[in-house]
Amino acid sequence: MSTTSGLTDALRAEHAAIFAYGTLGARLDGATVAVAEVAEAAHRARRDALILRLNALQASAPPAEPAYALPAPVADRAAALQLMITVEERCAAIWRQALPTVTGDDRRLAVDALVDCAVRATKARTLAGVKPATVPFPGR
């Protein structure tokens, strides 16, 4: 896997995460909505940074798909929180896979993204009442 393919895979994951967060907001309430909004904003910022970076590398930045298949219907708060957990775990896994392919600032971006996804997954597990809320080796 090359630097550009690792970053391209990460961009695809960020696109999918943004789509997923757009579907779950209606099933959340109060402070949980705020958590989801912050998470979606983080994925949007990372998507934008990846597009700029891929353009700087003269690599093609794949556009978002019109829609993404969700792992399960989002019918209630519990399903929305489970989707948040799944999204963050999947993004963490993609960023972890990118780590061996990148160096310098790109590596810093990948490590920061992996940590950010792991923290958000932990927060979502806590909101969902999942125990333990943390997992060893996020992204694995």
- The reported pLDDT for the residue numbered 89 is 98
Percent of the chain surpassing pLDDT 70 = 99
CA angle 62, 45, 135 (to 5 degrees): 95
State mean pLDDT over 95-112: 97
Domain, as residue range, for 82: 3-128
What pLDDT does residue 2 have?
A: 79
Domain count, the chain: 1
Q: What CATH number is given to the structural domain containing 85?
A: 1.20.1260.10
119 falls within a domain? yes
pTM of the model: 0.95
State the pLDDT at residue 25.
86
At 58 the pLDDT is: 96
- State how far the Cα of 137 lies from the Cα of 140, in Å rounded to an integer: 6
Predicted local confidence at residue 1, as pLDDT:
67
- Please tell me the distance from the alpha carbon of residue 139 to that of residue 14, in angstroms, as a whole number: 15
CA dist 67 to 9, 20, 70, 76, 109, Å?
Answer: 17, 9, 9, 20, 26
Arithmetic mean of pLDDT over the chain:
96
- Say if 134 falls within a structural domain: no
Q: What is the DSSP string of 53-118?
A: HHHHTT---PPPPS----SS---SHHHHHHHHHHHHHHHHHHHHHHGGG--HHHHHHHHHHHHHHH
Is residue 133 one of the residues assigned to a domain?
Answer: no
What's the pLDDT tens digit per position in 31-83? 899 999 999 999 999 999 999 999 999 999 999 999 999 999 999 999 999 99
Residue 61 belongs to a domain: yes
139 domain residue, yes or no: no
Instruction: Provide the pLDDT confidence category of residue 96 given band limits of 50, 70 and 90.
Output: very high
* Residue 137 belongs to some domain of the structure: no
The angle at the Cα of 64, spanning 77 to 13, to the nearest 5 degrees, equals 60
